[in-house]
């Protein structure tokens, strides 16, 4: 039993390490700020996810029993990572891109990054419609 557990945990750790390494390598190799943004959001999903599953299995097989902390780490990562990526992308769009270079949104509006801050309803999705 314990040898099977050790093998599963080792495979998960090595796999997670590989994806973490590829994510970091992508950060170096990719050459545009927007493509570079893809690398770190990827390493957090499968790289960190594999380590966390391995950690849960380890405590389940060889230590005091089931732990929930890994689930919490996953939850907090999945809540924070997309928000940070979104704000980095917005800051980059704001400083380095012109609205003409981007595809236009549906209808006759603009992307909220390029709106004046004082305009009513700027950047706020309307929740009144059904």
Partner 1 sequence: MLRKFLPHPWLTLVVTIVWVMLVNVITLNAIVFGLILGIIIPIVTSAYWPERPTLRNPMMIIEYLLVVLLDIVRANIQVALIILGKRNEDMKPGWVTVPLDLRSPEAITVLAGTITMTPGTVSSDLSEDGHSLLVHCLDTDDPDAVVAQIKDRYERRLKEIFE
**Interface residues toward partner 1, by CB under 8 A:** 18-19, 22, 25-26, 29-32, 34-35, 37-39, 41-42, 44-46, 49, 67-69, 71-72, 75, 78-79, 81-83, 85-86, 89-90, 93, 102-107, 109-113, 115, 121-127, 129-130
Minimum separation from the CB atom of position 3 to partner 1 (A): 26
**Residue placing its CB nearer to partner 1 in the complex, 57 or 85:** 85
Cα 48 from Cα 17, distance rounded (Å): 8
Cα 5 from Cα 75, distance rounded (Å): 25
Minimum separation from the CB atom of position 67 to partner 1 (A): 6
Instruction: With residue 56 as reference, give the H or E element that holds it.
Output: helix 49-62
CB 16 within 8 A of CB 46: yes
């Amino acid at each position: 039993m314990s040898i099977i557990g050790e093998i599963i945990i080792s495979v998960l750790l090595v796999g997670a390490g590989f994806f973490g390494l590829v994510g970091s390598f992508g950060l170096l190799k990719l050459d545009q700020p927007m493509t570079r943004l893809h690398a770190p959001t990827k390493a957090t999903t499968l790289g960190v996810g594999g380590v966390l599953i391995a950690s849960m299995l380890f405590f389940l097989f060889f230590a005091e029993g089931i732990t929930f902390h890994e689930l919490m780490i996953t939850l907090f990562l999945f809540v924070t990572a997309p928000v940070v990526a979104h704000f980095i992308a917005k800051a980059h769009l704001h400083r380095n891109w012109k609205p003409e270079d981007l595809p236009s949104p549906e209808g006759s509006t603009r992307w909220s990054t390029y709106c004046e801050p004082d305009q009513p309803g700027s950047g706020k999705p309307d929740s009144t419609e059904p």
